[in-house]
Structure 1
Amino acid sequence: MTFLVERTTGSGYRGCPFINFCAEFADTDHPGRQVARDTKAVLRERFRRLAEALQVHDPRLLADGLMLLVEGAYAISQTHGGGADGIGRSLVWAAEALVAQQRLRPQGTDA
């Protein structure tokens, strides 16, 4: 997540190109939107595999939570610009909290 903080808080950062594309091209059947969906799916799957390697309670739930943090970081960087006070620190904290919460739960218990 620290890489994401560095990327989204840098001067001149204009947001996630895939989100920007989808905002401009509303047609959900546009080939570019499929590229955006596929790219996001690859990241989500990467998070899921990492979560499985950590042997967390629910790898898919953790992956989805991390995806929400990533997408939120992209959105807030566009809304508030690179200097959004404390957002980067909060992003890292939230990601660590999600991982810790999932690691505390024994395998096979309900969320």
Structure 2
Amino acid sequence: MRWPARSSGTLSTARPAPAATLAPTAPLSSQNDDDLASRYRARKEKLLFEAAQVAEGRGTTEWDALAMQLHKLAGTAGYFGETRLGEWARTFEDRLRPVEDGQDRLGLVRDQYPSLRVVA
């Protein structure tokens, strides 16, 4: 808002300039909600599948990718009503990241996988 202009010691009766207006945003549609929920379920299922593969010793493990999936799940699970899963993912990510040795990481995944199945 601008201050009224001064003219010879008296205030002007000019109105302040109108504030800039923002274009209204459209509310999320149920289609958008369905798309988000679908993407969340797919991400969750991918993590469950990959964690099972690691726990069973199949394939090669991309530890950074697994940690990133845990991070994403931790950030989104609560939005979809899965608070316990989000908390589990955050805690597990925090435990997994600092472990340097691949065999120690594998042991940690094997140890924690059953609890993942319970909260998922």
Shorter-chain TM-score: what band? 0.3 to 0.5
TM-score, normalised to structure 1, is 0.36
TM-score, normalised to structure 2, is 0.34
User: Highest CA radius of gyration, 1 or 2?
Assistant: 2
